[in-house]
Structure 1
Amino acid sequence: MPTLKQKPKQRPFCFSVKGHVKILRLVLTVTSMTFFIIAQAPEPYIVITGFEVTIIFFFIVLYTVRLDRLVNCVFWPLLDVINSMVAAVFMILISMLALIPETTTYIVIGGVFGLAASVFCIADGALIYRKLLFNPSGPYQKTAVHDRF
């Protein structure tokens, strides 16, 4: 009698490494935005971090509820990688602009949290990029035809 192999259960998104990085990215961006709001920083600081909080929250809900599996017409990992890289650029730019003049302590703290969030944006993009590869375990190895037989 043949034995049936059970499929290994997939971990929920919130308990995966990608989920932890994305949630940590959300927490750091919210903290940065909070310090910018408390310090009454210029509006672009608050608006850009607010947009990033909204987009990160959208992706967390999307992956948690598994909507990425239901909506197949959009390639979600590619959108997530593009978002991560654009967010990293904007967060680095905003954080550097916040750190250069050193106007108030809260703006400097918000800039430091923004730089930490940009590091996690890059890490999040790298983790999701591995999902884009068809062979996520490593680079493509080309073999000769005569080696297959």
Structure 2
Amino acid sequence: MDIRKIDETLSVAPQISVQDVAEIARLGFRTLVANRPDREEPGQPAMADIEAAAREHGLEWVFLPVESGNITDEDVDQFAPMIRNADKPVLAFCRSGTRCTVLWALSAARETQPEEILSKAHRAGYDITGLIPRLAQQAGKH
């Protein structure tokens, strides 16, 4: 399992397994967020199975599927309040962790300077410099 810390409240990861959920809970995460649609690719664990494991281990579960490469403003509008109100720390996952990072970055742009967002993403191993125009656009949505 490759957990990458964005900040004190949010970490992201590539696809997790049902067996990973116990470790996620042991590490102290309180909310598990799935940003990957069910059946996006063959062999992917069913979200219902991950949800059941999350609940079994006392984690809050949020299923907010987002199409890879097509994150809309509506997706960001759903992600922003969810992440703000979630029990923290939060672990969000998708296929590679990039989608979760982009959702976080675009929602954070409404309150945080782009340089800080880019720096946090870079420290977590994600280059999101291509998002700079969208970060600026989101900044206008305070």
TM-score by length of 2: 0.29
Q: Between Structure 1 and Structure 2, which shows a larger proportion of helix residues?
A: 1
From the two aligned structures, give the one with the greater strand fraction: 2
TM-score by length of structure 1 reads: 0.28
